[in-house]
Amino acid sequence: MTDKNNKAELLELNLEPIYERYYNEDSAYGIYGCYDLNTKIKSEDFFGSTTSYQEVTIVGNIQRLSIGKKYIAKAEKIFHKQYGEQFKIHSLYSPESSTQDDEQQFIQFLVTPKQFKNIISIYPSPVSTIMDGTFDYKKVKGFGQKNYILLKTKVEANYNNMKAMAVLGQFQISFNMIKKLVENYGSADLVIQKVYDDPYILYKEVQGVGFKKSDQIAQAIGFDFNSPKRILAGIMYSIEQEEQRGNTYGYIDVVKTNAEEVLELTIEDIDDFLDSSDFYVDKENNIVALRRTWQCEKDITEELYRLNDIDTTPLFTDEEITQYIGEIEQELDIQYTDEQKQLFY
């Protein structure tokens, strides 16, 4: 499999993390040692023939992984000068549902060893109890309200990311993208709902997601190729291409032709789509613009007219300016040219 953006060969890996070498919560960048469950290794020991798995190192922007949990990844093989062969993760998700062990491993990353021990002695499934509101921090020895609020915030933020990753990760949506979507929409459930209902909303509402990426996601989830939502997004993209060429609008017939080429289909009646509030249409001149661009131009024009209409009375008369120039020349012992003097008026 080849990534169209960087032409890198993407391999599908079945992974089981063995240990965490590094993880940064702010950047979501992690390095893990994992078993590649696709690659079995036969070896001989005192007890005879045994089978184990090849150990690999994975790197990239991913959710924090649970040791021993199974993950499916699309990855690019790379070579690090110091650490050797690694696999750079492009997408990763877990087909497994959350277990009690998963929850405990997750919590273990967020609290001290002593706090962890005290928490699971009362709540064996700590994430579930935090999420459903039944966690009572007063029952946990040495765990105050401040600690609970901090833990709850971290659990809710990362739980959302992981939940969205489990559903959307299989469509090669990166962890950073999912994290951005969850932050943008507020919850994983809403992100999942929106992406399935209209994947092109990512293109329209999320900075950094272009039409082509949205279209790839749409096709991955089996979205209708002839959907009006897809056609609408294709028209918007065609107008954006005109903007890239320095035009703030496009001729409707040109926009239609370009959109059909991008979408690889025929748009029967473009007027049906141009009625959308996303567009400003001037039928008399046969042009269409994105409404946000048109509104921006309109606001700028009105501001220029306003500035032009302001009654500006000069602070000094020409006679006064001439007098001041003479005083400056005398004080500094210089002589301005006629061109230089004009700058004062």
Q: What is the pLDDT of residues 75-134, one digit of tens each?
A: 999 999 988 999 999 888 777 667 788 788 778 878 999 999 999 999 999 988 998 889
Q: Both 195 and 228 in a single domain? A: no
Tell whether 216 is covered by a domain.
Answer: no
Are 308 and 319 in the same domain? no
Residues 156 and 83 in one domain: no
pLDDT digit string, tens, across residues 11-50: 989 999 999 999 987 777 899 999 999 888 766 655 556 6
Domain check: are 15 and 81 in the same one? yes
Give whichever of 108-112, 265-269, 293-297 has the largest mean pLDDT.
265-269
Domain-embedded: residue 5: no
Which residue type, as a one-letter code, is found at position 260?
Answer: E
Domain boundary among 167, 202, 237: 202
CA 166/CA 102 separation, integer angstroms: 14
- Domain identity same for 121 and 86: no
Q: What confidence score (pLDDT) does residue 294 get? A: 85
**Closest C-alpha among 270, 269, 289, 265 to residue 278:** 289
**Cα–Cα nearest to 278, from 168, 197, 203:** 203
Structure tokens at 114: 């002593």
Same domain, 187 and 255: no
Whether residue 5 has pLDDT greater than 50: no
Residue 218 resides in a domain = no
What is the rounded end-to-end Cα distance, in angstroms, of the chain? 69
Final residue before a domain boundary, out of 93, 117, 143: 93
> Are 198 and 104 contained in the same domain?
yes
Does 1 fall in a domain? no
pLDDT tens column, 224-261: 999 999 999 999 999 999 888 888 888 999 999 999 99
Q: Which of 44, 72, 93 is the last residue of a domain?
A: 93
pTM of the model as a whole: 0.56
Q: Do 264 and 292 reside in the same domain of the chain?
A: yes
Domain with 109, as residue range(s), is 100-202
The answer as to whether 219 is a domain residue is: no
Higher pLDDT, 167 or 116: 116
Q: Is residue 207 part of a domain?
A: no
Specify if 330 maps to a domain. yes
Instruction: Provide the number of structural domains found in the chain.
Output: 4
109 located within any domain: yes
Domain co-membership, 283 together with 322: no
Residues 28 and 61 reside in one and the same domain: yes
Nearest-angstrom CA–CA distance, 160 and 183? 9
Residues 308 and 246 in one domain: yes
Are both 292 and 325 inside the same structural domain?
no
